[in-house]
Amino acid sequence: MSTKFKQNKTIEIIGFPMDLGAGRRGVDMGPSALRIAGLDRKLEALGYDVIDRGDIDVKIMEEQSAGEPNLKYLKEILKTSEELSGMVFSALENNNFPLCLGGDHSMALGVLAGISAHCKKKGLAMGVIWIDAHADMNTHETTPSGNIHGMPLAAALGRGYGNLKNLMGISPKLLPENVALIGLRSIDPEEKLLLKELKISAYTMADIDKLGINRIINKVLAQFRERVDHIHVSFDVDSIDPSVAPGVGTPVPGGLSYREAHLLMENIAECGCMSSLEIAEVNPILDNRNQSAEFTVELIASSMGQRIL
């Protein structure tokens, strides 16, 4: 490795209240729900300095046209993703830890663009642990819905619509061998083909049932420690079973349990090698008294070092 991993003690919170990439309203309130659940206080109690950069301004659906049916709200998503990428890049250049709060998972377009620009400048290799019920590897040619939140990982790998994959002027931003998907349980047919074509490490809920989450995440982290310098964790809360976190953008039964999710994040923290984190798809409209946001804040704390003892 060209550098040693280090856990930055200053966290920059960046809110991305985006719901244009999804087919359901409400995830734009995710950043607020996470703040209301006491995210900053939790992180400060763990010894971090916290800088909250506020939210990027995103036009609501009623203020604009959806545009192309297979790339809905493309113009606004590109505009705001460019702003987000600049803020992530700036945080990393200041040796801070970017913690990005969504919003739907189209947020990853800007987040991965900012990280990739930083890594390119510093000569670093980026790895991504994608924790999600969905692969998010559709393109404008394969999407069944036209919702861009199903496209960011494909775009980072250099697949799909030009302006989506070329954010920050870098494509591809990520090599297939440096990405691992964990928690999959709802994958479109074309995404399956692309996963196999690129030979990406992908662990479904069936794999987790058979092998256990501890074995899987430790295997992924061991591989990444050998070949990447910056590990980004992209956590979609719909990876959690709806019985634990009902307030998510696209709930799918049969997800990670309470303890599986915490063990996953605790192991990432013990590695000491996570350099950035994004949290996507918290939807307070579908939640019960902010239960999902409060659970997610505890998960973030686990990933940043909180322990039972």
Active-site residues, by number, are: 105, 132, 134, 136, 149, 236, 238, 281
Instruction: Supply 80's token pair.
Output: 């705001």
Token pair in block for residue 56:
């990027």
Contact (CB, 8 A) for 133 and 186: yes
User: Angle 258-271/291-303 helices, nearest 10 degrees?
Assistant: 30
Q: How far is CA 281 from the centre of its chain?
A: 9
Separation CA 187–CA 192 (nearest Å)? 7
Q: List the beta strands (DSSP E) in the chain.
A: 10-16, 49-55, 97-102, 126-131, 179-184, 201-204, 230-236, 274-280
Residue 36 in tokens? 């209301």
Containing 195, the helix (H) or strand (E) segment is helix 189-198
Question: The tokens of 182 are what?
Answer: 């964990």
Distance CA 65, CA 175 (A): 34
Give strand ranges (E) for 238-295: 274-280
Residue type, 127: G
Cα angle: 257, vertex 240, 237; to 5 degrees:
150
Residues 182 and 160 sit within 8 Å (Cβ to Cβ): no
